[in-house]
Every structure is written in structure tokens, then in C-alpha cells.
Homo-oligomer: A and B are copies of this chain.
Amino acid sequence: MSKSVLLMSMSVDGYIAGPNDDRGNPGGDGFMRLHKWYENSAGEFGKPDGEAGVIWDELNATGAIVVGRRTAEQVDYYGGDHHGVPIIVLSSKPIPPEAAKYPTVTFMSDITAAMAAAKEAAGDKDVLVHGAYTAQKALEAGVLDELQIDQVPVLFGEGLRLFDVLSQRIELEIARVIDTPEATHLRYRVVR
């Protein structure tokens, strides 16, 4: 059965972006520090060597994406192509002209409806969820199934937190821990 899975790289103090995070500086200052674990031994960004490689494979095996508007805007809606799957942007604002040119990109304002549409589009595959605000809305609406948090051994001190607007206590279950020198890859299931 299709699952919705949040994928985010996070510092030990909970940041997913550095300060000065905007369109000209996606992810803010030091953003690459949080994503360095994606580098292979040749220094190329993509599937890391070793055990963490499975996370890259899982990411590329998803059948649809639900992403927050802020995140999507910063990366120009992935140029309309994120491993070829439908991209649903969560937003209550009108569709901007620069997004209208991508046929793979749809805008929806309700997280529950967005997740249902994404699961339908994904078929048997999982849905990739991206963005801090979107993740918290999905958790609160009870439509997030799992969290893949790649916890990077650094304290950021400032920036954008993954969890900052969550309004309820939510129990998790540890589904998998991949322990590498670059990051601790934590997979949690949401307990309902």
C-alpha cells in the first residue's frame, strides 16, 4: 500500500535550512552542509556509497510528490521534473505564471485532498513529502505515514526548523536506523 513519507535532512538542533533562506539562496547559508551525506566517494551529489544508498533508491522509487510552495518556488518547481512523477504543490495562493508552464505541476490548497490525489497518482508506490510547513500540516491532518529524517552531526543555531508550528503531541515508532559517519538516518512510523 502506498505510504506518504517525509524526507528531510536536519541538523541535531532541528534546522533544515540556514539563515538568509530565499529564492536566490535556496536552503539558506550552509544548506549544503545538511546535504553533504548525499555525496559519493567521488564527491558527486546523488546516491551515496554504502548503506545510506537505499534512501536515494527509495526517493527515486516514489510515485508522486507533495511539496510546500516555499520549497517548490526556491527550486523553480524542480524545472517541472522530479524523476518524472506528478508534483503537487501545497498552496492557498493562485498558481504563479512561472509554474503554469510545467504540465507535471498541480496546485492544491488542502493537505488531505493533496495527499489523496498524490496517493492515487502514485498507485502502489510511495508519496514523497517535502517541506517543513507541509510536513507539519500533514502530521496534524493525520495523512503523514512515515518520516525519513537524515540527522546531520552539526548544530546550526539559526535558520528554519523542521518542527516549529506543530500543535499536538504525536507518537512515533522507530522503523529503521542507518548509522553512518556522515549522518544518522532515522526512519519513523507515525503511530495512530
Report if A76 contacts B (CB, 8 A).
no
Report if A62 contacts B (CB, 8 A).
no
> How many protomers of this protein does the assembly include?
2
Contact A157 B166 (CB under 8 A): yes
Report if A13 contacts B (CB, 8 A).
yes
Report if A172 contacts B (CB, 8 A).
yes
Contact A172 B184 (CB under 8 A): no
Q: Which segment, of A88-96, A100-108, A173-181, faces chain B?
A: A173-181
Q: Which segment, of A44-52, A65-73, A117-125, A148-156, faces chain B?
A: A148-156
Residues of A whose CB lies within 8 Å of any CB of B are: 12-14, 30, 139, 147, 149, 151, 153-158, 161-163, 166-174, 177, 179, 181, 184, 186, 188
